[in-house]
Amino acid sequence: MDNNPRPDRAARLRAFAEYVTSAARKAGYDIDGPRGGGKTKLARDAGVSLSTISRLLSGERAPDPENFEGLARALGVDLRELLVRSGIFSAESMHSWPETAVRSRPITPRDAADDLGITDPVDREMFLAMVSRLKRQQLARRHEGSGGAAAEA
């Protein structure tokens, strides 16, 4: 006999789909567009197939475990929250997990240039300008929602 108080699978999938849909909209993905460009962009950013995103947003299926990290990153949400919302873990069990000391430090373009050994001042400026332009293009594409033509900087 199952004494698990968690909601049934279909209800969990619907609730998770609603959460991901809301998070995707907040992250700037136009997932309601008629051409599906926002879904395609979300799939690409999360590193999953378009069919996975479509099934997820419709409440048909949760992503495979290996896809949660990419999805959390693309949505800009905490991985733990995503796992709890999916029903994989309960909120209570997640609170008992210790905080991990392993974290990636944020890296600036200047740090990257240092790490890559780019020391020539002209080369550094070119590298920093290229990174800046790529970041602006990525931001423009995200706001565009379709991932179409590159933004002019």
For residue 52, tell me if it sits in a domain.
Answer: yes
Please tell me whether residues 67 and 21 are part of one structural domain: yes
Contacts 24+ apart (CB under 8 A), 36-45: 37/145, 37/146, 37/147, 37/148, 38/145, 38/146, 40/146, 40/147, 41/141, 41/142, 41/145, 41/146, 41/147, 42/74, 42/75, 44/147, 45/70, 45/73, 45/74
What domain count does the chain have? Answer: 2
Please tell me whether residues 21 and 84 are part of one structural domain: yes
Please tell me whether residues 68 and 139 are part of one structural domain: no
pLDDT tens digits along 56-78? 999 999 888 889 999 999 999 98
CATH number of the domain at 72, please: 1.10.260.40
Percent of the chain with pLDDT over 70: 80
Please tell me whether residues 14 and 57 are part of one structural domain: yes
Q: How far apart are alpha carbons 118 and 138 in whole angstroms? A: 24
Domain with 63 in it: 9-95
pLDDT tens digits along 66-110? 899 999 999 999 888 898 888 888 888 777 766 654 445 567 888
